[in-house]
Structure 1
């Protein structure tokens, strides 16, 4: 049987009860818990305790935890910076968006577990999507290419940052023995001396620098690819 689409955004927000809690307070407190302890630690009981209210009182505002997480996810999209399309070229706008999205995910890594699992149809998400749409229209993209191009940039950023988050979750910087990694590489990849030489020559001693360089390189390739696509479209009429 087809599952009916449902979202917290299709419901009228309820007015605060005598407790005086407002939806904005609930979202802000949930974000604080998520930032401090991660997605696994968030519960309605813990959120209620942080707000000085019982968990049952929160259900006046959200029917379940998924609805709460929808609100939190839209709060995340509101943190991502993107200029108005009239204020920047499409490449400048997308570069600003990509770097802001990367920084915001790194600051709030719980987002990586929510994107794609919950609908993003809140006001912040729609506002962001509309700015991206208008930027691609201004650039010259047409019809479905507008949305495919937008998704390409979004997926690039997610593809770069989510492995960073997984790595950071599994290991702290102090736990990584760089010299030990090199010794293991020497042992396991001894049959590939050129590969080993490249690894030693190109691997940054500062992982953050290496990640930033990789992100810059990939983003430039994405931008150049989209520009080439535009050029091919204009030449073909």
Structure 2
């Protein structure tokens, strides 16, 4: 008789077996939560099915019952954060201010999650939260008298601007962290180096870059974001019916 076949002593019979700690129920929401924690701390590249499975002390195969692959997971993560974006009810007389408000909210939310904006590049987010934002933005533009075609294309261009600017901002933040400096310090250093480079270009070939080097490299990230936002909104306003 082996050790595993030994009978229980009389004083152990009838006692309940020692239960193993129960694992928390694994569902799509828990997987998305884990993915967002990883992307916030380490970025999109650190997110993988195997990495998330390790959080739950299980194998990657157990995740596929809830998420098809990493690409779907990233889309679910992006849609989750879209739920934090404030979408105002349309007020026709304030449509420009409302689009600006919605754009700022979207940009701020994406900025809180490292480089999550990367997940929205080269795709069209179609989750319920992303659709809520798109529907709200389109409703504001239409209420302001912007023709449907212009409003629809403006929605696409504005979203691309928000995503690209947010993603670039995350790259600057990562570069600053890698150098052990603040984002402001990194931006100032980079701007100074770039201005110096422009000023030393051959004058006969690049007279305008040389002459305007300091202007081209002036302004902080927030200031430039607002400038770009104004360009888009003012451009759309040309088409709006009074």
Q: Which runs of 4+ in 1 moved over 6 A?
A: none
Deviation at 1:167, TM superposition (A): 4.5
Q: 1:159 to 1:70 in 2, by over 3 A?
A: closer
Deviation at 1:43, TM superposition (A): 1.4
Task: Quote the residue 2:201 is aligned against.
Answer: 188
Q: How many residues get paired?
A: 211
Normalised TM-score (structure 2): 0.73
Which of 167-176 and 148-157 deviates more? 167-176
Matched-pair contact (CA < 8 Å) for 1:70–1:118: no
Task: Quote the residue 2:94 is aligned against.
Answer: 89
Q: Deviations over 1:41-62 (max 9, x none)?
A: 1111211222343322222212
Q: Deviations over 1:179-208 (max 9, x none)?
A: 55444333224445664343235643xxxx
Q: 1:69 to 1:218 in 2, by over 3 A?
A: closer
**1:79 is aligned to 2:84:** yes
Q: What SS does structure 2 have at the residue aligned with 1:141?
A: coil
**1:200 is aligned to 2:224:** no
Deviation at 1:67, TM superposition (A): 2.3
Q: Which runs of 5+ in 2 are unaligned?
A: 1-22
Deviation at 1:87, TM superposition (A): 9.7
**Whole-Å separation in 2 of the counterparts to 1:130 and 1:155:** 16
Equivalent residue runs for 1:152-191 within 5 Å: 152-169=157-174, 172=179, 176=189, 180-191=193-204
Task: Quote the residue 1:6 is aligned against.
Answer: none
**Whole-Å separation in 2 of the counterparts to 1:177 and 1:138:** 42
Normalised TM-score (structure 1): 0.74
**1:226 is aligned to 2:236:** yes
Q: Deviations over 1:52-103 (max 9, x none)?
A: 4332222221232222222112113223222222598211221012112222
Q: What SS does structure 2 have at the residue aligned with 1:229?
A: coil
Looking at CA atoms only, which structure, 1 or 2, has the larger radius of gyration? 2
Q: What SS does structure 2 have at the residue aligned with 1:53?
A: coil
Higher helix share: 1
Query: CA RMSD, aligned part only?
Result: 2.9
Deviation at 1:139, TM superposition (A): 0.9
Of residues 131, 134, 159, the one that matches 1:129 is 134
Q: Which runs of 5+ in 1 are unaligned?
A: 1-17
**Whole-Å separation in 1 of the counterparts to 2:44 and 2:111:** 14
**Whole-Å separation in 2 of the counterparts to 1:65 and 1:54:** 15
